């Protein structure tokens, strides 16, 4: 019995030594950490009061685009990804009154939608079943607005919903297929309830 105990102790000591020496999981994890990294980031200059970043293929060209709220200008900014980025297209910042990145070199074209009042949260998804991405946003002035994308990519058609109070922070608005029918619902966390808006036959 004593010899068996000595053998077990020696066996586990060898195992522990293997975990902390060459070829060990600990060393492998360390090497992985040293090897991991990012390439130089693309820089997209924005105003300071931006929020609610969303990622989606807004114009169905196969490239992912960005949408966000800019409350400095009371606008929604849509950043459409270009096919390629040329180094000559980088724009240098000339403003020195506050910190800003030196370059705005990301491959995106910006389109702005004027809303006219500050917004709380933003969601994106096909809300009327026409295959195009639509926008939904919350605000104090209008609790919920859905803005539909037209055939030419315009954002002129909108619907407003009230009768409740929108919450003034992010992550309160989701566009997601809750019931598994292949059509997304609009899920909204309000001051008194969670509201699930299901698109009708007409969208």
Name the least confident of 2-11, 53-62, 160-169: 2-11
b/e for 139-154, b at 16 or more Cβ within 10 A? beebbbbbbbbeeeee
Q: What is the DSSP letter of 7?
A: H
Instruction: State what percent of residues in the chain have pLDDT above 70.
Output: 71
Identify the pLDDT of residue 91.
47
- The arithmetic mean of pLDDT across residues 58-85, rounded, is 93
Global pTM value: 0.73
Q: Inform me whether the pLDDT recorded for 164 exceeds 90.
A: yes
Q: Inform me whether the pLDDT recorded for 201 exceeds 60.
A: no
Backbone torsion region of residue 202, taken as left when φ is above 0, otherwise alpha when ψ lies between -120 and 50, otherwise beta: alpha
3 vs 1: CA distance, rounded Å: 5
C-alpha torsion angle, residues 133, 116, 174, 186 (rounded to 10): -70
């Amino acid at each position: 019995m004593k010899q068996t105990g000595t053998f077990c102790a020696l066996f586990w000591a060898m195992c522990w030594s293997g975990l902390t020496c060459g070829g060990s999981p600990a060393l492998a994890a360390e090497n992985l950490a040293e090897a991991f990294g990012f390439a130089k980031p693309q820089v997209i200059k924005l105003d300071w009061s931006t929020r609610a970043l969303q990622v989606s293929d807004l114009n169905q060209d196969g490239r992912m685009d960005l949408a966000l709220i800019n409350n400095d200008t009371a606008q929604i900014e849509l950043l459409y990804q270009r096919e390629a980025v040329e180094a000559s297209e980088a724009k240098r910042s000339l403003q020195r009154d506050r910190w800003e990145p030196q370059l705005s070199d990301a491959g995106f074209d910006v389109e702005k939608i004027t809303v006219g009042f500050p917004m709380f949260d933003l969601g994106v998804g096909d809300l009327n079943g026409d295959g195009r991405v639509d926008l939904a946003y919350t605000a104090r002035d209008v609790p919920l607005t859905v803005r539909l994308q037209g055939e030419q990519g315009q954002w002129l058609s909108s619907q407003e919903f009230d009768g409740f109070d929108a919450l003034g922070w992010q992550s309160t608005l989701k566009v997601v297929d809750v019931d598994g029918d292949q059509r997304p619902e609009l899920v909204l966390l309000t001051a008194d309830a969670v509201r699930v808006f299901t698109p009708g036959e007409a969208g």
